Chains A and B, each alone.
Chain A
């Protein structure tokens, strides 16, 4: 999988310096999202909901094999066809195979991070199939040939003026068109796409094992059309997206939107139970559910990472994250960004591929407070950091310096001497050219040591 994670530090610096409008747009939008989440959490006993959701997901994940078998049986009983994709290659092959067998020439898509993860769109396009994203944010990004930068608001890094310019250029709208006008223009294009499409492809927010139901949350109605209008519906669902019972779904639908956008529930919730029962009935002729692993089983077996699989992709941790707010999602270099990306990507891609994301956090802990399924993100980040240190994936100077600190700190006289010297030397101009302090000093005035240490003042006596 192609990622650009490794140069996170440089690209985050570039993003902040060269694209100030991204920082403004992302900070503004995420602060607003987070305020709505807080209000929505405040309306219910959010703490109890979150603990319940954590327990349901833990139960699911610790009995995943059973529930996957149950889901498959129920889906097939409903007339849906189930496919298993071990990895991204298999997921693409399955969809391409279906498209070929069913003579699909045009695809409409609902927003799906999993299809980004398995790089489905480029594969379909290479096969000569027209792919149209129908979520408004995704549609904007498709026109710009950019990946989404946020799990829920894919174009959150764009400002209205940029969309006005784009639509004026591509769809012929008025350059000062208001958001309603822009949405109307996009709808005109998308209506035709829905009517002409042979296949609708979506993700799945949840898959209820008990009933074989794929649940999809949205606000625009495009997913409803994607799942019902074309003659074939394909849902790609990560194996961790299961829920045991239909009664669990009621809670998760509400908790997810409260966390994501502060809504009590999505404007549209589509429950896909299978194809049309009889020819001529509403609904697609065929429904296919592709259950995708792509590293999830490895994550589940990893004692440090498995809790990240509780994630419902609400984006609440991105919205509250002060690190994410400065750069938006693209700086992170892969599909899943922000706090959840920094703990999930090492699991899905391998830690080596995901470095230095576990270090792209100040460990402020705000993400845990927002997370609807109580993923202990700061603890998971620390666990990944520990693994990175043990595997030698961090700079050796850093490891040596910290080992030296530990050695000194267990020998008080040495520690006192080293502390005094280090502080005094660190304050000199020459020290600012040391690699560790160079960046600090580029962005900040150097710290000023106290004239006398506290230890000296204590010895002299404090009045």
Chain B
């Protein structure tokens, strides 16, 4: 299958290695990966701030950029949700059909592997690793990816450890973490304070990771955050640690 990678702003600039791992993983699973060069920002920052007209302009650009692709995969549950769930809400009437078509063929990385490719076993590369999963809220409650990351991690041999605040928002929320920084940081503290002893915290959302890692660093918690794409690529048999 031909898969277009929609890398997203944060993965491009802050999690470039994870995006590379996503490419390797998709190729390993038999996909031909393309990277449409005109791709930019999905528009979520504007949409969440209540600037839906600006968000719609970005949506239209993205719709055009990925129009001819067979499938679009994002290493971000949040941006995938923007495309899948929110583009159809904000796209202009004359783009409604294309918006719906793009929504149908767009997937978050883990979602794509489990639901579209039907793969749950990647290898044994994560045997012996204790991990906790932080699901971004959009992945969890909009895309309903309740089990997918854990299934894939367990399928690669990891032990996924239950986490009291597992389903709670980490407090990132984009602009929210800037405007309401203290509450946002307290929300991260609740996640960090309830975190069981694990080797990695794995997440499919770079925004949550920047925020949680930044808070963990400021408090000296020493937690290691690993992007889902990197964790899964490490899970593939034979990949060196």
**Interfacial residues, chain A to chain B (CB-CB below 8 A):** 8-9, 12-13, 16-17, 23, 27, 322-323, 325-327, 356, 358-366, 368-369, 382-389, 394, 398-399, 402-403, 405-406, 408-410, 412, 415, 419-420, 423, 436-437, 439-440, 442-458, 462
Contact = CB atoms under 8 A, between A and B. Distances in A.
A325 B193 CA distance: 14
Interface of B: 7, 9, 11-17, 19-20, 23-24, 35, 37-41, 43, 45-52, 54-55, 57-58, 60-61, 137-138, 141-142, 167-169, 171-173, 175-188, 190, 210-211, 213-215, 217-218
**Chain A CB within 10 Å — which of B13, B15, B38 has the most?**
B13
A113 B58 CA distance: 43
Given A323-B183, A455-B12, A363 B217 contact: no
Given A12-B183, A405-B46, A454 B11 contact: yes
Contact of B50 (A17, A384, A403, A412): A384
B190 A322 contact: yes
A406 B57 contact: yes
B179 A444 contact: no
A361 B15 CA distance: 26
Contact of A443 (B20, B23, B181): B181
B12 A462 contact: no
Contacts of A360: 180, 183
B222 to A, nearest CB: 12
Nearest to B89: A379
B17 A402 contact: no
Contact of A462 (B23, B37, B168): B23
Contacts of A17: 182
A409 B79 CA distance: 14
Contacts of A9: 179-180, 182
Contact of A444 (B49, B51, B183, B214): B214
25 contacts: A9-B182, A13-B182, A13-B183, A17-B182, A23-B186, A322-B187, A359-B175, A364-B169, A365-B141, A366-B167, A382-B52, A384-B50, A385-B50, A389-B50, A402-B46, A402-B51, A402-B54, A403-B51, A406-B43, A409-B40, A409-B43, A440-B181, A447-B210, A454-B11, A454-B20
